[in-house]
């Protein structure tokens, strides 16, 4: 009887050894990491890129601590129509605050906001918008502002879709972020949007922690009020994170050149140019909004997310142009695929 | 015979189950995480703090993604005498570059540097130093500057100890950083020193990646030279990371309030004040340079790392004052203990 007993013991030992290895190494699955992406060239290029830079036997191998990926936000990770969501937030704030500011009823661009006069509002341009932003954000502590943003993110709904704004993020991009993180990439947002506007919800929505969110900012001062220190936003821009200043901010906040960058507008051109000009294997992605039925279709003439130079030069630069209608089977989380 | 065989099988199964759990959970060791710290109050307070915030059954528990720790650099993680190491680096650069700048031989403060005239140099104050920094760093690409810093870090030696500057980091602080990281803290440097001066060596020396280094910066511009994009440093400060601007930078770069902050001078006062004013369990540490024989002894009257207000208020604020001579058994890595 000894022999059979021993072989049972040996069999069990072998089984447990396999279990041990499996449990500790993590189960390798072969399931599709990008299920919302159509099987086609963009998806294959992304998967091939990630496979090569993570394969230590490849000449394209990149050590984990250099696997930096940067994503624009507006139009790249979530929608930006009928206009930038941060602008819709600001307009909402102006209306809420108007009762305490009777002078706004005959001062532009505030009057235009209160009267939903979009012609005047669009004509007010960047400076008009900056006035609105400062009026609604200045002299407020960062903590007060963060809780205002949180309330907006949890309750306000998009005028066209009726969804929460944070439900209008792109499912394929959520999968791409998760896929990169699972392959030891450190993923950053590098957006023209405000730091203080993004950070209250980006960790919950994208799984990207606050210190990996780079954006525009106001001057801020430290103050001790009644023995309690606070940070107060001032009515002066500190940094506008757009175009050639995106690589500047990447250098300042991240300190390494990304190996992958994704954007959707000419405001992201220099970020992709800087990223893909580095040595070794690099990937630049541009989301082309081509889907008028499920999202919006726009490019060269749009006042949000204008994509003109990027469309002309993507081919020469080797950047991957993502055709939303063709390459994404699902747009928003919870949507059914085509 | 069946019964004994079965019990062997059961025993082995239990053994492997234990092995499985142990291997997957990580072996818990009881070895001292801070061997260079004297067994005394500061060490006990640090260990107690870390134990409480990481114990999910404690009312002081802090989730891993909120375990942010910030460390000043000069005088906190490495020495800063006879003067700031970045200043010694700049003086070295002035001498190297002097051949190409004959005009410096009769222009202050350059003349003082070339002639080792410390009296004039100290009298030139902060503005004189800024002139020196800009003259040696402006109009240089970030890549060129980084390789200059790397060369300095690998080759230049401290005028008093003859050590490489990067060997003059504090062994007890290296242990503290590792201990915090092992307990899922995200550890940041928040220094008045230059971003571009620190990042080329901080990952190798402290194990802190470039995006977790916050510091002072010059204005920088993006430029395409002969088809290749570069980032060029300009002769204008962008941000001086000191005093009340440290909490501002923490908010801007990190986006969360730390639960632990360590410094050594009044330039760190507001960082500790901001950190320890948060809700829940917090720890503020101040390194007091009390060891003239193994390092330097200075506080209220020093032009580097002046500690005056901090000494007066540490007690009331509940901050931990680290007495270098008493609390640190080893100063630099490789030194033998007392």
Please tell me the distance from the alpha carbon of residue A256 to that of residue A180, in angstroms, as a whole number: 17
pLDDT tens across B56-115, in order? Answer: 999 999 999 999 999 999 999 999 999 999 999 999 999 999 999 999 999 999 999 999
Whole-angstrom CA distances from B78 to A24, B176, B193 are: 38, 14, 12
What's chain B look like in SS3? CHHHHHHHHHHHHHHHHHHHHHHHHCCCCCCCCCCCECCCHHHHHHHHHHHHHHCCCCCCCCCHHHCEEEECCECCCECCCCCCHHHHHHHHHHHHHHHHCHHHHHCCCHHHHHCCCHHHHHHCHHHHHHHHHHHHHCCCEHHHHHHHHHHHHHHCECCCCCCEHHHCECHHHHHHHHHHHHCCCEEEEEEEEEHHHHHHHHHHHHCCCHHHEEEEEEEEEEEEECCEEEEEEEEEEEECCCCCHHHHHHHHHHCCCCCEEEECCHHHHHHHHHHHCCCCCCEEEEEECECCCCCCECCCCCCCCCCCHHHHHHHHHCCEEEEHHHHECCCCCCCCCC
A 232-251 near B (Cβ less than 8 A): 238, 244-245, 247-248, 251
Does the structure show a pLDDT above 60 at B329?
yes
Best mutation target among A184, A195, A248 (most B Cβ atoms within 10 Å) is A248
* Distance (Å, whole) CA B105 – CA B98: 8
Confidence of residue B122 (pLDDT cuts 50, 70, 90): confident
B95: CB partners within 8 A, 6+ apart: B113, B114
pLDDT of residue B13: 58
Question: In sequence order, which residues have a C-beta less than 8 Å from that of residue B105 and are 6 or more positions away?
Answer: B98, B111, B114
Q: How large is the angle between the packed helices B309-317 and B269-276, nearest 10 degrees?
A: 10
User: What pLDDT score was predicted for residue A206?
Assistant: 98
| Regions of chain A with pLDDT less than 50 | 1-4, 22, 24, 26-28
- What local confidence, expressed as pLDDT, does residue B15 receive? 57
As given in the structure block, the two tokens for residue B33 are 């995480």
For all residues of chain A together, what is the average pLDDT? 92
d(CA B149, CA B136): 12
The pTM score is: 0.90
The reported pLDDT for the residue numbered A19 is 52
Question: Which of A19, A217, A251 is the closest to B252 by Cβ?
Answer: A217
- The pLDDT score that the predictor gives to residue A336 is 84
With CA atoms as reference, report the closest residue to B334 among B171, B166, B153, B161: B171
Contact in structure between A222 and A229 (CB atoms under 8 Å): yes
| Sheet strands side by side (includes A283-288) | A228-239, A213-225, A186-194, A68-71, A260-263, A283-288, A320-323
Task: Using the predicted structure, report yes or no on whether residue B242 has a pLDDT greater than 50.
Answer: yes
Residue B218: pLDDT over 60? yes
- Beta-strand pair A186-194/B260-263: unpaired
Using the 8-state DSSP alphabet, how is residue A103 labeled?
G
B 136-175 residues with CB below 8 A of A? 142
How many whole angstroms separate alpha carbon B254 and alpha carbon B231?
23
For residue B170, give how far its alpha carbon lies from the nearest alpha carbon of chain A (Å): 24
| pLDDT > 70 fraction of chain B, expressed in percent and rounded | 91
Contact B222 A203 (CB under 8 A): no
| Interface mutation target, options A15, A251, A268, chain B, most CBs of B under 10 Å | A251
B159, pLDDT greater than 70: yes
| Residue A27 near chain B (CB below 8 Å) | no
Q: Is A263 helix (H, G, I), strand (E, B) or coil?
A: strand
Query: Do residues A307 and A300 make contact, with C-beta atoms less than 8 angstroms apart?
Result: yes
Instruction: Considering only the beta carbons, identify the residue of B211, B248, B277 that sits closest to A255.
Output: B211
Mutate to test the interface with B, among A255, A268, A273 (most CBs of B within 10 A): A255
Is residue A293 within 8 angstroms of chain B, CB to CB? no
Using a CB-CB distance cutoff of 8 angstroms, which residues of chain A are in contact with residue B210?
254-256
In this structure, chain B runs to a length of 338
Token pair 């053994």 in the structure block, residue: B15
Q: What is the pLDDT of residues B250-306, one digit of tens each?
A: 999 999 999 999 999 999 999 999 999 999 999 999 999 999 999 999 999 998 999
Q: How many residues does chain A have?
A: 338
How many whole angstroms from its chain centre is CA A18? 40
Task: Give the span between the Cα atoms of B294 and A268, in whole angstroms.
Answer: 52
Between positions 77 and 136 of A, the ones with CB within 8 A of B are: none
Check if A229 contacts B (Cβ < 8 Å): yes
pLDDT tens sequence across A109-149: 999 999 999 889 888 877 788 789 889 998 999 999 999 99
Contacts with B217 from chain A: Cβ below 8 Å? 252
Tell me what pLDDT residue A6 has. 54
User: Can you tell me the distance from the alpha carbon of B337 to that of A318, in angstroms, rounded to the nearest whole number?
Assistant: 58
Question: Closest residue of B to A17, CA-based?
Answer: B16
For chain A, how big is the Rg over CA atoms in Å? 24
ipTM for this prediction: 0.90
Taking the C-alpha atoms of residue B291 and residue B299, their distance in angstroms, rounded to an integer, is 11
pLDDT of residue A28: 47
Q: Fill in the DSSP letter of residue A77.
A: T
Contact flag A20-B17 (C-beta cutoff 8 Å): no
For B23-69, how does the pLDDT look when each residue is reduced to its tens digit (9 = 90+)? Answer: 545 444 568 999 999 999 999 999 999 999 999 999 999 999 999 99
Nearest Cβ partner for B12 among A9, A23, A248 = A9
Edge-to-edge strand ranges of the sheet holding B213-225? B228-239, B213-225, B186-194, B68-71, B260-263, B283-288, B320-323
Burial of A24 (0-12, 13-18, 19+ CB in 10 A): exposed
What is the rounded distance in angstroms from the CA atom of residue B217 to the CA atom of residue B72? 16
Q: How many CB atoms lie within 10 A of CB A204?
A: 12
Instruction: Give the closest-approach CA distance of A284 to chain B in angstroms.
Output: 15
With beta carbons under 8 A apart, name residues in chain A contacting B186.
209, 211
What confidence score (pLDDT) does residue B298 get?
A: 98
Residue B203 has which token pair? Answer: 């990952």
Whole-number pLDDT of residue B27:
46
**Are A141 and A231 contacting, i.e. CB atoms less than 8 angstroms apart?**
yes
Q: Give chain B positions within 8 Å (CB) of A231.
A: 247-248, 251
B196/B204 Cα distance (integer angstroms): 15
- Which residue from B minimizes the CA distance to A245? B222
Q: Give the whole-number percent of chain B exceeding pLDDT 90.
A: 84
Indicate whether B4 pLDDT > 50: no
In the structure, what pLDDT confidence band is assigned to residue B6 with cuts at 50, 70 and 90? low
Please name the member of B23, B209, B221 whose beta carbon is closest to the beta carbon of A24: B23
């Amino acid at each position: 009887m000894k022999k059979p007993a021993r072989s049972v013991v040996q069999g069990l030992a072998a089984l447990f050894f396999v279990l041990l290895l499996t449990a500790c190494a993590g189960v390798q699955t072969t399931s599709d990491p990008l299920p919302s992406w159509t099987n086609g060239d963009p998806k294959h290029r992304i998967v091939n890129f990630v496979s090569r830079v993570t394969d230590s036997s490849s000449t394209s191998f990149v050590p984990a601590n250099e696997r930096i990926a940067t994503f624009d936000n507006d139009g790249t990770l979530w929608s930006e129509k009928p206009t930038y969501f941060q602008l819709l937030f600001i307009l909402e704030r102006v209306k809420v605050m108007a009762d305490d500011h009777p002078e706004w009823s005959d001062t532009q661009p505030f009057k235009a906001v209160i009267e939903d006069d979009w012609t005047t509002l669009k004509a007010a341009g960047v400076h008009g918008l900056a006035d609105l932003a400062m009026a609604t954000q200045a002299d407020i502590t960062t903590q007060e502002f963060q809780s205002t943003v949180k309330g907006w993110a949890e309750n306000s709904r998009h005028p066209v879709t009726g969804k929460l704004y944070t439900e209008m993020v792109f499912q394929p991009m959520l999968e791409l972020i998760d896929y990169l993180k699972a392959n030891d990439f450190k993923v950053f947002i590098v957006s023209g949007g405000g730091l203080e506007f993004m950070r209250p919800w980006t960790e919950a929505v994208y799984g990207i922690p606050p210190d990996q969110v780079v954006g525009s900012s106001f001057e801020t001062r430290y103050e001790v009020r009644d023995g309690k220190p606070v940070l107060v936003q001032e009515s002066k821009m500190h940094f506008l994170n757009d175009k050639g200043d995106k690589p500047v901010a990447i250098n300042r906040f991240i300190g390494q050149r990304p190996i992958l960058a994704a954007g959707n507008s000419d405001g992201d051109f220099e970020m992709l140019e800087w990223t893909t000009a580095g040595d070794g294997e690099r990937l630049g992605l541009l989301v082309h909004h081509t889907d008028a039925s499920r999202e919006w279709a726009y490019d060269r003439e749009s006042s949000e997310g204008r994509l003109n130079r990027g469309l002309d030069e993507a081919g020469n630069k080797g950047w991957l142009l993502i055709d939303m209608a063709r390459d994404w089977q699902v747009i928003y989380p919870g949507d059914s695929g085509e």
